[in-house]
Amino acid sequence: MEHHAVQFSTQHLIALLPLLVTCATVVVVMLAIAWKRSHAMTFVLSVIGLNAALLSLLPTLGVTPLQVTPLMQIDTFACYYMALVLVATLACVTLTHAYLGEATVSDGQTKGYPRNREEMYLLLLLSAAGGLVLVSTEHLAGLFIGLELLSVPTYGMIAYAYFNKRSLEAGIKYMVLSAAGSAFLLFGMALLYADAGSLSFAQIGASLAGASGSQLVQIGIGMMLIGLAFKLSMVPFHLWTPDVYEGAPAPVAAFLATASKVAVFAVLLRLYQLSPATAGGWLNDLLTVIAIASILFGNLLALVQNNLKRLLGYSSIAHFGYLLVALVASKGLAVEAIGVYMATYVLTSLGAFGVITLMSTPYNGRDADALYEYRGLFWRRPYLTAVLTVMMLSLAGIPLTAGFIGKFYVIAAGVQAQLWWLIGALILGSAIAVFYYLRVMVTLFLNEPNLQRHDAPFNWGQRAGGIMLMLVAALAFVLGVYPQPLLDLVQQAGLATAAL
């Protein structure tokens, strides 16, 4: 593929608007911090920038599908996942504002996070920009640039409360393992390039169509899969997940579980669909084993957790196992199923981590993530309990919640492709999951008098974080009852494989 100088037109600029607006927001926030440190101002600028990026998706949709340089393909698929990443980031920024707390209180004491708060927003925005690159790339170089831009700021975010031993440990763990994952990914890319002579997903797919049996290709694809499985915390590369979720500040754990994973899974889906170097079927077998292992290990290990963040960490391993079922199916309903599941998963994870964030608001040394701290929450904060209950029901895939619609679609895609082993694992995993989600819900309603507990602020529902959380809970319920708007959206967000 010869690389001509790309003629940049206004159409290309419009196609890149969401990314350009996000990057401009990063620069504006950085200059604002340099000019004057103000937590409120930094927060407002970040929110305005992310909303502008979300709105800029509308003109972008008008020019899709469009290839902007060989690195990026802006199509409806990219726009849909960009919207998911931006919405998740926006929610995490709102939660961060509540979590870090106000600057001072009347008696002169600082309430909330004791050091500089503003840089957290900068890191969140940078990471979101990496996510936007990742979901729209169809080239191995773009994949690596996007992945690193997504990952590197998260090291800082996880260890943001560096004076807390847990947070620092989580940051170092994630950095070391993430670097190992990236090394595997790069090595795999090099081997693929050696065989195919190109870095574009489609070109690799075309040149490998006849030669998928080559040893080099198999090793290359295998190593790339290891790198991506690290980021998605698939079994057996999942060991960092519960530790990092537990150590990271609650809004950061929410970002890791949603925006970060959505972006990586979207690029994995695009790679898998555009370069079917899988004629031998060995990759499908490997993914099947990883999916079954992730579903069973994730759910079984979540059973024994007494820490809500670790429980959600293990449960997210299982949820990405469910998503792999649709990835392996890869025909028919599969791309739609993944789109629907991603949206419902992001919604419910944001809600669950949002409750932990508001319970830990403002920052006071450690998050309220131990299960006993939620005993009898219903009697003290009934609405907050309602939100967490809806989220747990949705994660368990109970009907009338968004999670049920997502799981239903994944099962439909699996049945369509006749993946009976995977469907069996999914049903067994879901049955185990119901038990530990119910355990969390029962804890909320236990009556424990004389129990001094750390609670969400009394007026949590009147603040930005609380309002956002109420919206998420309402949406999780509405989409469970009336999912049609989401289904229409996902149907239009198919992969533009025909256009290649």
pLDDT, one tens digit per residue, over 395-444 is: 999 999 999 999 999 999 999 998 999 999 999 999 999 999 999 999 99
Q: Which helix (H) or strand (E) holds 252?
A: helix 250-255
Tracing tokens 């993914």 back to the chain, one arrives at 287
pLDDT at 500 over 60: no
Between residues 447 and 53, the one the model is more confident about:
53
Q: Is 64 helix (H, G, I), strand (E, B) or coil?
A: coil
The pLDDT assigned to 105 comes to 56
**Secondary structure (DSSP) of 377-392:** HHHH-HHHHHHHHHHH
The pLDDT assigned to 497 comes to 45
pLDDT at 292 over 70: yes
**Degrees to nearest 5, angle at CA 372 with 349 and 365:** 75
**CA dihedral sign of residues 136, 94, 149, 189:** negative
**Smallest Cα–Cα separation from 61: which of 73, 76, 83?**
76
CA dist 298 → 36, 155, 305, 429 (Å): 45, 24, 11, 8
Q: Provide long-range contacts, Cβ within 8 A and 24+ apart, for 51-57.
A: 51/90, 52/21, 52/25, 53/17, 53/18, 53/21, 53/22, 53/25, 53/86, 53/132, 54/18, 54/83, 54/86, 54/87, 54/90, 56/17, 56/18, 56/21, 57/17, 57/18, 57/82, 57/83, 57/86
pLDDT at 191 over 80: yes
For 315-362, the pLDDT digits (tens) are 999 999 999 999 998 877 888 999 999 999 999 999 999 999 999 888
The pLDDT assigned to 211 comes to 57
pLDDT at 161 over 50: yes
Q: Across all residues in the chain, what is the average pLDDT? A: 89
Give the mean model confidence (pLDDT) for residues 58-72.
Answer: 88
Percent of the chain exceeding pLDDT 70 equals: 92
Give the mean model confidence (pLDDT) for residues 37-42.
Answer: 93
**Degrees to nearest 5, angle at CA 445 with 443 and 449:** 95
Q: Is 331 helix (H, G, I), strand (E, B) or coil?
A: coil
Decide: 466 and 91 in contact? Cβ < 8 Å: no
Q: Is 434 exposed, middle or buried (0-12, 13-18, 19+ CB in 10 A)?
A: middle
CA dist 476 → 394, 395, 420, 463, 479 (Å): 7, 10, 29, 20, 6
Tracing tokens 């603040």 back to the chain, one arrives at 463
Q: Is 298 helix (H, G, I), strand (E, B) or coil?
A: helix
The pLDDT assigned to 216 comes to 84
72-74 vs 66-68, strand pairing mode? antiparallel
pLDDT at 462 over 80: no
pLDDT at 126 over 70: yes
pTM: 0.94
Q: Is 199 exposed, middle or buried (0-12, 13-18, 19+ CB in 10 A)?
A: buried
The C-alpha atoms of residue 365 and residue 346 are separated, in whole angstroms, by 27
Q: Is 457 exposed, middle or buried (0-12, 13-18, 19+ CB in 10 A)?
A: middle
The pLDDT assigned to 111 comes to 74
For 193-252, the pLDDT digits (tens) are 998 888 888 888 877 776 555 788 888 888 999 999 999 999 899 999 999 999 999 999
pLDDT at 475 over 60: yes
Decide: 181 and 231 in contact? Cβ < 8 Å: yes
Percent helix, strand and coil across the chain, each to the nearest 5: 75, 0, 25
* b/e code 76-108 from CB counts within 10 Å (16+ = b): bbbbbbbbbbbbbbbbbbbbbbbbbbeeeeeee
The pLDDT assigned to 202 comes to 84
The DSSP letter of residue 103 is S
Q: How confident is the model at residue 1 (pLDDT cuts 50, 70, 90)?
A: very low
**CA dihedral sign of residues 32, 117, 88, 455:** negative
Decide: 265 and 338 in contact? Cβ < 8 Å: yes
pLDDT at 104 over 80: no
Decide: 340 and 407 in contact? Cβ < 8 Å: no
Helices (H), 360-416: 377-380, 382-396, 402-416
Q: Is 118 helix (H, G, I), strand (E, B) or coil?
A: coil
pLDDT at 391 over 60: yes
Mean pLDDT is lowest, of 14-18, 149-153, 464-468, for 464-468
